[in-house]
Structure 1
Amino acid sequence: MAEPVTALVVDDEEMTRAIVAGYLARIGYRTLEAATIAEAWAILSDPTITIHVVLLDRRLDDGDGLEVFERMKAVPGLAEIPVIVQTVSDSSAEIAAAIRAGVFYYLFKPYDGALLRSVVRAAEERSGRLKTLQGDLRSRADAISLLRDARFRFRTPQEAQNLAITLSTIADTAHSLTFGLSEILMNAVEHGNLGIGFEAKSVLKATGALTQEVENRLASPEHRDKYATLHVERSDNRVVFTVTDMGRGFDSSRYLTVDAFQSTATHGRGIALARMVGFDQLTYVGAGNRVVGVVNLNRPAVPPAD
C-alpha cells in the first residue's frame, strides 16, 4: 500500500490548523501540526517521519516562519520538500523576500479549500519535476554556460517550466531567475496563446479546473498549432530573454507595479514579482505579446528584505 502524503501545517492558530487539515483530508492527505518554529523543527528532524509538503505561516509566536524554511534548505533530506507560505499580509516586500529565499507558493488568508488543494498539488507536481531534472542539472549548467545565442519554441506549461529551470543556471541568481522565467513563459502559454484572461483564470483556479482547461485548449483546433518563442542572447555582462507569443497582447501596466499586490485575487502578482526578484529589467513591447527580461551577470547578490 502506498505511503499517504503527509503535510506539516505550521501555524500558531489552532483553528487554522484544523481547517487546513480538513481541507487536505478531502484529497487523502495526512496532516501533522506545529504551533511554533521549535515544534516544526522537531517534527522535520524526526527520522521516522516523512513530510511531503509544508504549509508555513510567516508570523509565529517564536519568530518568522521563514526561519524553518532556511533551516530546511541546509539539510539535504529536507531541502527538496515543497513549502507553501501562508500569511494575512499582502506586502510585496514580504513576498519578494520569500521568493528570494526560495519559496514559490504564497497563500493569503483567508482562502478556500479548493484553492489550497490546487496550490498543494501544484507544489508537489513542481517538486517532482525538479527532482527529475536534478540528476542531469549539473551537465545542463555546464552546457548552458557556453550559450551565446539560442532560440527555443514551446507550447505547453511543462515545456515552459523545463525551459525556465534549465536556462536559469545561466546566472548565479538561479532560483530567482527560475521564478521570473517561469512566470513570463507560463504567461505566454496560458494568457497569450490560449487566451485565458485574468477573470477566467480566477474562476478556473477557484474551481480547480485550470489544468484541465489548459489541456483542452492546447488540443483544440483554435490553439493546437500555436507556439511561443524564447530568444536568449548572452554577452559577458548580461543575458537578454525575449519571449513572444501568438496572442493579442494585454495591458501590462496593470501587472508591473506594486499595485498588483493590493488585489484580493488569487493570482496576478506574478509579473510584478518576476520584475522585482527575477530580472534587473522587465519590459513588455508593443501590444504586450512580447516581453524582454534582462539579467545583469555581474550584479551583487540582493539580500532578502526584512
Structure 2
Amino acid sequence: MPSDADMTEAHLLVVDRDPRSLATLVDHFRSEPGVTFHTAGDPDTAWAILQDQAEHFDLMILDCLMPQGGGLDLARRIRASQRLAGIPVVLQTPAPPTAEQMRSGAAAGAYHYLTMPAQHDAVLSIVHAALAKSSFRNALRRQLRRQSGKHRELDTCEFSIRTLEEAGELATLIAQACPNPDAALFGISELLVNGVEHGNLGLSYEEKSQLALDNCWKSEVDRRSALPDNLGKRVRLSFRREPERITLRIADEGRGFAWRDYLELDPRRACDPNGRGIALARMLSFSSIHYEGCGNVAVATIAPPGN
C-alpha cells in the first residue's frame, strides 16, 4: 500500500484552451516545492505530450469544455490506453457540473472536478485527493495483474480485514473471481476502504476533506487503526456466486450513515475532494448496491455477462 501521495514530487499536465485560466491554474502550483508541470492549450497538443515515453505524469487537469467535446474525448483516449490509463484526470469547469455531466465524466474516467476560479486550498485538496486515490488504485491494479486468474473458482467464502493494506489485498483476491476483474476491483476496494475508514475508525466526511488538504489521509487512517479501541474491529466480507449473480455483503462495526444520499452523483459535492466513491462504484462496478440496517452493511451484486 503506498503512503500518502507526495505533492512535492508530482508531475502535472494542465490543459486549458483559455490562456488566462491556464495561467491561474499554474500559479496555484508555483508555490508548491518540487511540483513540475507541462501545459497545453488543446487536446492534440496534450496527446502529443503524453506520447513522449520519457515523460511520466501523475495527474492531469483538463478543461472539459474545449470545442467539439475535445476534453472528454481526450479523457476517453487516456482511459483506453494501457500505458496512460492510471493517470487521474481532474475536469476543470466554469460552473459546477450537472449530474449528467458527472456521469459522462465518470464514464470517461474522470472522477474529480474543479470549478474555476477556485481558491488555492480547494485546488490543492482536489489534487491531493486525486493523487492519493490513484496511487491506491494503481497499486491494486498492479497486484491484480500479478495474481490474475488465481482465484476465479471462488463460490462461497467469508473474510475479515482490519487495515487499508488488508482491504487492498482482499479486494484484489475477490475481484479475480468476478466477470470483469478491473471493474469489480474499483467497487470492492471502495466499499472495503469505506468500512475501515468511515465505519470502524469513525472518520467523518469533513475530516476526510481536511485530511485531503493536509495530504495525510493514509497516515491518519493508519494512526487510528493502531489505537487500542480499534484493534479488535473488523470489516467482514461474504462472497456468494449463484447462476444469476454474484453477491457481496460487506459489514463494518460503525454507526452507519445516511447512505441514500450517496447512491447518486450529486452536483452539490462535485468539487469536494471526497464523497463520490459509492455512486461511482454503483455506476462502474456493480449491477446494484443497497445498505441494510443503519448503513453499516453494504450489499452489492454483479450480474454475469449477458444478464
Fold equivalence (TM over 0.5): yes
Q: Could you say which residue in structure 2 is the equivalent of 1:37?
A: 43
CA distance in 2, matches of 1:74, 1:189: 31
Q: Unmatched 5+ residue regions in structure 2? A: 1-8
Whether 1:262 and 2:268 are equivalent positions in the alignment is yes
What is the CA distance between 1:74 and its match in structure 2? 4.3
CA gap 1:126/1:83 in 2 versus in 1, 3 angstroms? farther
Q: Could you say which residue in structure 2 is the equivalent of 1:290?
A: 297
CA-based RMSD: 2.8
Aligned-pair identity in percent equals 30
Q: Could you say which residue in structure 1 is the equivalent of 2:125?
A: 115
Q: Could you say which residue in structure 2 is the equivalent of 1:8?
A: 13
Aligned 8 A contact 2:157 2:238 in 1: yes
What is the CA distance between 1:181 and its match in structure 2? 1.9
- Opposite residue 183 of structure 1, the aligned amino acid is E
Q: What is the total number of aligned residue pairs between the two structures?
A: 293
Aligned 8 A contact 2:197 2:221 in 1: yes
- Opposite residue 269 of structure 1, the aligned amino acid is R
Whether 1:204 and 2:214 are equivalent positions in the alignment is no
Specify which of 56, 60, 82 is matched with residue 66 of structure 2: 60
Runs (4+) of structure 1 exceeding 6 A deviation are none
Q: Unmatched 5+ residue regions in structure 1? A: 301-306
CA distance in 1, matches of 2:152, 2:301: 17
Aligned 8 A contact 1:172 1:297 in 2: yes
TM-score by length of 2: 0.83
Q: Could you say which residue in structure 2 is the equivalent of 1:304?
A: none
Aligned 8 A contact 2:126 2:212 in 1: no
Give a deviation string over 1:110-153, Cα, whole Å, max 9, x none: 45243134124314523551464154142xxx233201012121
What is the CA distance between 1:44 and its match in structure 2? 1.3
TM-score by length of 1: 0.83
CA gap 1:199/1:265 in 2 versus in 1, 3 angstroms? farther
What is the CA distance between 1:28 and its match in structure 2? 1.3
CA distance in 2, matches of 1:235, 1:204: 40
- Opposite residue 22 of structure 1, the aligned amino acid is D
Any residues of structure 2 matched to 1:148-163 within 5 Å, and which?
148-163=155-170
Specify which of 125, 129, 141 is matched with residue 135 of structure 2: 125
CA distance in 2, matches of 1:6, 1:201: 24
Give a deviation string over 1:31-80, Cα, whole Å, max 9, x none: 10112111111211234534343222322135232222332344443334
Whether 1:247 and 2:257 are equivalent positions in the alignment is no
What is the CA distance between 1:193 and its match in structure 2? 0.2
Aligned 8 A contact 2:28 2:123 in 1: yes
CA distance in 1, matches of 2:142, 2:63: 28
Q: Could you say which residue in structure 2 is the equivalent of 1:79?
A: 85
CA distance in 1, matches of 2:184, 2:162: 20
